[in-house]
Amino acid sequence: MLQVLKPSFKQIFFNTSSCFHLKVDRGDKLYRGMHYHPETELILIRRSKGTRIIGSSVELFGDNDLMLIGSNIPHGFLHDEETLNTDNPAPEALVVQFGENFLGREFLKLPELKDVHELFIKSQNGICITEEGKANIIPLMERMFSASSLDAIIILLEILKQLISKNNSRELIHSNRLNNDINCTNDHRFNDVLHYTYSNFDEHISIEKVARIAHLTRESFCRYFKALANKTYIEFLTEYRINKACQMIRNGDRSMKEIGYACGFDSLSNFYYQFKRIIKLSPLEFSRHCMEATKGKETA
């Protein structure tokens, strides 16, 4: 029997040098439980089959399925056991994640981008790209992963152009909006808390402070936030701080001590402990991995 778990709020780990995120997921990384995030997601299942859960829709998926999943839609993928068999090639997906304002807050206000704005609105229901659309979009999506940063932005804009084209018909994955208890798109309190956190993560943040921002008591806020995010506010704040720490380490221009305090940790030992707990590497080990990856690109 298919069991659909309560979705968790997930933070996307963006590189500071990019306004969008590209990743290749393989094996069981394609499904880590139901989750949602503010970023829009373009997902190409290159190799796998199973059951996809997107909002209120539960459907089968297969090789070369291509979907545009809008902001804050709970989603996840359950892969058939045979696809996870070690004798078979591992399931694989190409994923492009970006915010509606990935080119600036005024981006979608341009009259020339009216159709793109409408596309983002329609993606709130989830969009399954048809065979005709896939023939145009999949080659572009694959090119993004080997393109320079500037070329990748141009390709992403071309993909959006293809998605709004009348020749690339689209099918909505589900027609009903999400339940209010998991859809935070229009929840001003949740958005106010996120904005405050993103702007002040490097300072001391108390539960009482964010509870006041949400106009709730401390106890009500803790229940409210966990109901929406499926994690406590402290868990969310710590994950965001570690996300920022990873970005600073990649830049390589600060010591670990400076990074720890710059990300709001009250002690270096707590920074090291939380980093290892979440990333599964120490900050120094993560730094070495980043340097090795950079050297690999330079010699490629």
Q: In this predicted structure, which of 148-152, 165-169, 230-234 has the lowest mean pLDDT?
A: 165-169
In a shared domain, residues 166 and 195: no
In a shared domain, residues 157 and 197: no
Asked if the model's pLDDT at residue 263 lies above 70, the reply is yes
Q: In this predicted structure, which of 41-50, 105-114, 172-181, 203-212 has the lowest mean pLDDT?
A: 172-181
- What's the longest Cα–Cα distance across the chain? 57
| Residue of 219, 196, 185, 204 whose CA lies nearest to 264 | 204
Task: Decide if 16 is inside a domain.
Answer: yes
Task: Dig out the tokens for 192 from the structure.
Answer: 């106010």
In a shared domain, residues 162 and 23: yes
Domain count, the chain: 2
At 239, which CATH number?
1.10.10.60
Q: What is the rounded distance in angstroms from the CA atom of residue 151 to the CA atom of residue 52?
A: 31
Q: What is the rounded distance in angstroms from the CA atom of residue 293 to the CA atom of residue 15?
A: 14
Per-residue b/e over 86-95, b at no fewer than 16 CB within 10 Å?
Answer: eeeebbbbbb
Task: Decide if 98 is inside a domain.
Answer: yes
pLDDT (average), residues 105-130: 88
Q: Which residue did the predictor score with more confidence, 181 or 84?
A: 84
pLDDT of residue 28: 65
pLDDT of residue 163: 92
User: What range defines the domain where residue 31 resides?
Assistant: 8-172
pLDDT (average), residues 85-92: 77
Q: Which residue did the predictor score with more confidence, 247 or 274?
A: 274
In a shared domain, residues 140 and 203: no
CA angle 149, 278, 26 (to 5 degrees): 55
Q: Which of 139, 172, 205 is the last residue before a domain boundary?
A: 172
Q: What is the rounded distance in angstroms from the CA atom of residue 191 to the CA atom of residue 197?
A: 10
In a shared domain, residues 27 and 136: yes
pLDDT of residue 294: 59
pLDDT (average), residues 199-225: 94
Q: What is the rounded distance in angstroms from the CA atom of residue 288 to the CA atom of residue 296?
A: 12
At 146, which CATH number?
2.60.120.280
pLDDT of residue 234: 94
